[in-house]
């Protein structure tokens, strides 16, 4: 399979091995609030590593992420919520040029600067000083007297008090004022958040970044429930890869070989996009028809929270439960039911239930 490379897994809460061989995706989701719940609706997912087609290739993962954002052509202004890897000049400038903003976490060893004081007296030669006193953001966490208590705005938390402090400083990678928020959570520990929108309140920045875990949940549903990344498309003419290999350089390969690689990558993207569409439809049914989904569930779940929309897995099981009935009694009214009924495989479980 082309574009497979050695990947490093940094997450401490993941059961994968530290190093794995696989495809490296970058994905974008839209956080949507509906029916007292929040869904991460997937919009795009692309393989952005593993293949180098030109020896003049200089685009990084950050450049490709900004390019992927541009291809979505979102007309309304938005906040791009991401982890600390995307707290960089390329991402921030790519967002600010279109009037959008970044909400992210910064590393604990990050530094920033106060604006330089305005010089007094006659103007001197040369460019005026821009950066003033240096601030180690880690030191703000130890100054408890300057922090304020607030009720945690994190999704799903109640009766939990956090301590936070907001300060606007110059960040050297972009050279503009950004808002830093140091947060001390009683159980989750300490972190430093950053927003390029100076009009956004500190408590709202904490709330927005707290929703980032919904993106992780949506990605887990895509992998485990939908099977959006369960493709097994092999390339017969693929040159063998060495164990623990990195990027594959194709600028010296033949044009025919490169075209085959591009064709295979396109097949991967089409398969993943079909899974994204299926996941979006499940999320729509979950929020638009929650009562109907629960009535058609036909299985057992330990806790059903009233007013909370069912998950993608529950919705999928409900569709599977009513599938035979839909095919049996909907063929005369629905073109889709007729199309599926004519092509159902009797050797599979869906076909056996349909025949029964």
**What confidence score (pLDDT) does residue 251 get?**
85
**What confidence score (pLDDT) does residue 128 get?**
81
**β-strands 101-106, 79-82 pairing:** parallel
**What confidence score (pLDDT) does residue 332 get?**
64
**What confidence score (pLDDT) does residue 303 get?**
74
**What confidence score (pLDDT) does residue 11 get?**
61
**What confidence score (pLDDT) does residue 101 get?**
95
Tokens 């806790």, located at residue: 303
Give residues with Cβ within 8 angstroms of 49, minimum separation 6: 3, 5, 23, 24, 61, 247
pLDDT in tens, the chain (356 residues): 998 998 887 665 566 678 888 899 999 999 998 877 788 999 999 999 988 888 888 889 999 999 999 999 888 999 999 988 999 999 999 999 999 999 999 998 899 999 988 877 787 787 888 888 999 999 988 888 888 999 988 887 888 999 999 999 999 989 899 999 999 998 888 999 999 999 999 999 999 999 988 888 888 899 999 999 999 999 988 888 888 888 888 888 899 999 999 999 999 999 999 999 999 999 999 998 888 888 888 777 777 777 788 889 999 988 888 877 777 766 567 787 777 777 777 776 656 565 55
**β-strands 131-136, 111-115 pairing:** antiparallel
**What confidence score (pLDDT) does residue 330 get?**
62
Nearest to 29 by CA among 284, 226, 291, 276: 276
């Amino acid at each position: 399979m082309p574009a497979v490379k050695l990947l490093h897994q940094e997450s401490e809460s993941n059961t994968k091995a530290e190093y794995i061989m696989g495809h490296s995706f970058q994905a974008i989701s839209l956080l949507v609030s509906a029916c007292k719940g929040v869904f991460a609706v997937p919009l795009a997912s692309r393989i952005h590593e593993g293949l180098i087609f030109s020896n003049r290739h200089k685009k990084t993962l950050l450049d490709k992420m900004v390019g992927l954002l541009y291809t979505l052509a979102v007309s309304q202004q938005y906040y791009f919520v991401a982890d600390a890897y995307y707290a960089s000049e390329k991402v921030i400038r790519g967002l600010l040029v279109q009037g959008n903003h970044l909400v992210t976490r910064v590393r604990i060893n990050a530094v920033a600067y106060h604006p330089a004081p305005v010089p007094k007296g006659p103007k001197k030669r040369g460019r005026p000083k821009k950066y003033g006193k240096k601030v180690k953001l880690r030191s703000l966490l130890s100054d408890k007297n300057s922090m304020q208590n607030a009720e945690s705005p994190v999704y799903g938390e109640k009766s939990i008090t956090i301590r936070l402090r907001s300060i606007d400083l110059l960040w050297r990678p972009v050279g503009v004022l950004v808002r830093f928020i140091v947060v001390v959570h009683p159980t989750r520990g300490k972190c430093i958040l950053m927003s390029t929108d100076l009009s956004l309140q500190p408590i709202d920045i904490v709330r927005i970044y707290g929703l980032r875990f919904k993106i992780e949940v949506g990605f887990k549903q895509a992998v485990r429930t939908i099977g959006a990344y369960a493709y097994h498309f092999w390339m017969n003419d693929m040159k063998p890869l060495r164990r623990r290999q990195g990027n594959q350089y194709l600028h010296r390969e033949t044009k025919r070989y490169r075209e085959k690689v591009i064709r295979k990558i396109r097949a991967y993207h089409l398969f993943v996009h079909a899974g994204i569409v299926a996941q979006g439809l499940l999320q729509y049914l979950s929020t638009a028809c929650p009562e109907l989904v629960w009535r058609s569930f036909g299985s057992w779940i330990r806790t059903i929270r009233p007013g909370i929309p069912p998950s993608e897995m529950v919705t999928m099981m409900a569709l599977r439960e009513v599938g035979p009935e839909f095919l049996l009694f909907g063929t005369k009214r629905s073109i889709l039911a007729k199309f599926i009924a004519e092509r159902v495989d009797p050797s599979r479980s869906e076909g056996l239930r349909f025949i029964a």
